[in-house]
Amino acid sequence: MPLRKFSEIVKLAEKHHGKAGLEAKLAEHGGGKPGSLKQTDDRFLAGMSKAVFSAGFSWEVIEKKWLGFEEAFDHFDPHRVSFYADREIARLLKDTRIVRNGAKIQATIANARFVVDTAKQHGSFAKFLKGWPTTDQVGLLEHFRKNASHLGPAGAMYFLRFNGWDAFILSPDVIKALIREKVVSKAPTSKADMKAVQAAFNAWTAESGLPQKDVSRILSFSVGPSA
């Protein structure tokens, strides 16, 4: 079955929110072009760590504590964090400025090594992300799953979106829209389903000329206003 034209999905979103309302919602979190990916490697490690520590926890609590995280983890200098050993881990487990989760502390150290190794191979983590085509987000998510720690598809999508890479996010409303459009029949978890999701996003971005992040958000708005 052919995909519905994205212009029709935009009209669905406008029906629920109005044309001006939809434009305002897209502008809320920076509509248009994604970020420039100019940040240094420490900022990417910080972004990964925020995604890891926020998983299964309150984003608001993590945000309020974030200055403490920055100080406790040496401002996420990947070279320093990658050499953390038992002494630093013991220190962090006693540090009330952060969420003292041993597995996530270990994951931050592993991810520092991932950032350092990636930068050695590509020149910087930013260059690595710039070189990965947005038409293969599924492949990038799999790369994170295999090489990063505690950064599964959901966490990786939010990390990518909030750190300047043009990522779609499979939020509950986006999934509802994809099921409505018969791209998938349920929440996508299999390789076949994720391949179908990627193909749909690639087709809609090519048709609309919009970045994938805006296609993703318009899909979510097309299911109706939030309660």
What's the confidence (pLDDT) of residue 224? 75
How many angstroms separate the CA atoms of 215 and 202, rounded?
10
Rounded average pLDDT per 10-residue block, the chain, 227 residues: 93 95 84 76 98 93 97 98 98 97 98 98 97 97 97 95 96 97 97 98 97 96 74
Amino acid at 44: F
Q: Largest alpha-carbon pair distance within the chain?
A: 58
Which domains are assigned to the chain? 6-34+168-221 (no CATH), 41-162 (1.10.340.30)
pLDDT tens sequence across 21-53:
999 999 886 555 667 798 999 999 999 999 999
What's the confidence (pLDDT) of residue 227? 40
Distances (CA, A) of 84 to 91, 151, 163: 10, 20, 24
**Residue 214, Cβ neighbours under 10 Å: how many?**
21
Q: Which residue has the tokens 């499979």?
A: 170
How many angstroms separate the CA atoms of 70 and 61, rounded?
14
Sort residue 56 into left (φ over 0), alpha (ψ -120 to 50) or beta.
left
Q: Which residue has the tokens 């629920």?
A: 16
- Mean pLDDT of the residues in the chain: 94
pLDDT tens sequence across 119-133:
999 999 999 999 999
What's the confidence (pLDDT) of residue 28? 82
| Contact (Cβ atoms closer than 8 angstroms) between residue 23 and residue 224 | no
